[in-house]
Amino acid sequence: MRNLLSFFFLQRSAWASVDPQLAEFVVDKFSSLDFDSAGSVVVSIIIRLYEKYCRSLNTDDDRVAEQLGRSETLLEQSRPPKVLSDLFSLYTTCHHLRQQCEWQNVIFWSVCHLADEGLTIFVRRKIEDFLCETKDCEVDSILPSVVDLFCCTDSAHVLNGTARILNHFADRLDCSHIQCIIKTIQSGGVAGDIVYQLAARARPDMTLSDDLAPNKWSSETARCQTIMKLVRSSPKRSDLSDLLATVFLSPCVKLSMFVNVIELLDDEKLKSYLMDVCRFLLDRRRSPLSDLQEMLSKLSARLDVADLAIESPCLIEAICAVRGQDCLSDPAMTDIRDRLALEITKAIMHSDWEVRDTALEIAAVVPCFRPMLGPLQPLVRSDPSPYVRAAALRCLILDEQYHLDELPLLCENVVLMDADAEPRLVAIQYLHSTLKENISHAFRILPKAIEDNDIGVRILMVEMCSSLLLDKKYAADTAKELEEWTEDPEIGAAVRAVLGEPPAERSDPVEHILADMMNTLRIRFEDTMDCY
C-alpha cells in the first residue's frame, strides 16, 4: 500500500515523461485488481492512476478496452460516490478506446440511474459527461428515455442534468421530442440556465405570437430567460426589438439581462432601454455589484457618467469604484448631486428603515453627503434597525477626524449594550484598529466581548488581548479572564496561543466521531467493511 501511495502522488506530473516502469506498474495493478474484494480507497486510487496512464496513450490499446469491460462490475456494487465519480471520469477519458457497442451496458446503467436522487451532484455530472460522448445509433436509442425523464421529473438536479445531455444532442431531436421539451419548460417553474439554453437551441424560431406568448408560460422569469437565450443565439433576428422590449418591460427583468445585450443596441435603443433599467437599480438584490461594474465598463465609451447616476447606492458605489469618490464633484454632475442631496436629507428621517439605510449607504460611499445626514449618534444609540445603527456608526468612523473625542466611548457602549451583532462588530472593529489610543476601552469591554454570541466579535477581542497582556496596568486581570476560556470550542485555541500555552492534547476528532457512531449502532470495528 505504501508503494501504491508513493506512485499515486506521482500522477500530478506529466505522464508523457514518466518512466515506462511506472506506467507498467499502473497497468499491472489495474489488471490484477480484484474489483469484488478490493477496498474502495485502493480502487479509487488505482482508477485515477489508470486514467492518467490512458491520457498518455497516443494509440489505441486492446488491453485497455478489455480492462474497461472488466471494471464494469463496480457499477453493480455499493461503492462510495467517490469510486463512481472516478470510474465515470475514466470511462469518459477512455471512451474512444472502445467500440461504441461495447459501452452498451454502461450506457444502460447510466440512463437508468439518472433519476436516482441518491446520486451526488458530482457523480451525476460525471455520468452526464460520459453520456455526452455517445456516438452513432446509440444516441437515438437513449434520447427517448432522456426526454421522458426530462418531461416527468420533479427534481431540479435531474431536470438540469437531462437538459445538459439533450442540449448536447439538440440536432438529433425529432419534432415530438422538441414539442414535449418546450411544453415542459413552459409549464415548469424557474430552472437552471441550461434548461433555457436547451429551449433556444431546440426551437430557435419561437416568436412572441406562438411559443413565447405569456399565456403559455407558468413562469414569467422562465419566459424572459428563454427570450434572452434566443436573442444571444440569434442577434440578427428581425423581431429583436420586440423581444428585448418584452423582457425590459417585464417585472422579472434582471440587470444581467440588460448587460448581456448592450453591444446589440444602437444608441437610440440604448438610451430608451436604459430608462427602463433605471427603475430596478434601486434594488440591490436585482443589481449585484459585478453586473453594475460590467455595465459601466460596457457603457463607458458610449454614455457620459452623468447619464447613469441615479438614486441608487449600489450604482453610485460602482461608479465611485471606477471613477473615484470625487466623481460627483465634477460640474457635469451638479444636477444629480443636488438632487441626491435633497433626497438624502429627506430619506434619513423616513419611517422605513430600508430608506434610512439607503441614505447611509450612499453617504458612506460619497463623503460630500455625510454632513447632510445630521447628528448620527441618536441613530447609533436608538434606531430600531440594527442595520441602520451599524451603517450610522460606520459613517461616523469614516469621518472619525471630526469625532475623535466621542467615538471610543460610543463604540464601547455599543459593544456593551447593543442587542444586535451588526453594530457590535462595527464598533469592535474600530477599537481594534485604534487599539493603541483606546486600550482602556478595549479592557473595559473584555468580559462582555469575549462571551459575545458573534464569533467575529470574540476573535477580535482575543486578538486585542495580546496588547492588553503587555500593559502592566491590565495584564493580570486580562490573564485571569482569559484563563476561563482556554477550553472554549470556538476561541480556546486562540486564547491559549495568546497566553503562550501549548495546544491542548486532544484525540483525532474523526476517531471520536466514528467511535460514537459505532457505539450508537453497537457495531464492532472488526465487523466493519472498508469504507471511504
| Span 18-75, pLDDT tens digits | 567 777 888 888 888 888 888 888 888 889 988 888 887 766 667 888 888 889 899 8
> In the prediction, which pLDDT does 346 show?
81
Mean pLDDT to the nearest integer, 405-428: 93
> In the prediction, which pLDDT does 60 show?
66
Mean pLDDT to the nearest integer, 309-321: 59
| Span 443-502, pLDDT tens digits | 999 999 999 999 999 999 999 999 999 988 999 999 999 999 988 888 888 999 998 888
> In the prediction, which pLDDT does 399 show?
87
> In the prediction, which pLDDT does 529 show?
44
| Span 222-258, pLDDT tens digits | 999 999 999 988 888 888 889 988 888 888 888 888 8
Residue 190 DSSP one-character state = S
| Span 494-532, pLDDT tens digits | 999 998 888 766 555 556 566 666 555 544 444 444 444
Write down the pTM of the prediction: 0.59
Contact status, residue 74 vs residue 33, Cβ threshold 8 Å = no
| Span 110-150, pLDDT tens digits | 999 988 888 888 899 999 999 999 988 888 889 999 999 99
Residue 162 predicted with pLDDT over 90: yes
DSSP letters spanning 370-403: GGGG---HHHHHH-S-HHHHHHHHHHHHHTGGG-
C-alpha cell recorded at residue 419: 442587542
Q: What value does the CA radius of gyration of the chain take, rounded to a whole number of Å?
A: 31
Contact status, residue 119 vs residue 153, Cβ threshold 8 Å = no
| Span 267-277, pLDDT tens digits | 888 877 777 67
C-alpha cell recorded at residue 477: 486581570
Of 327 and 166, the one with more pLDDT: 166
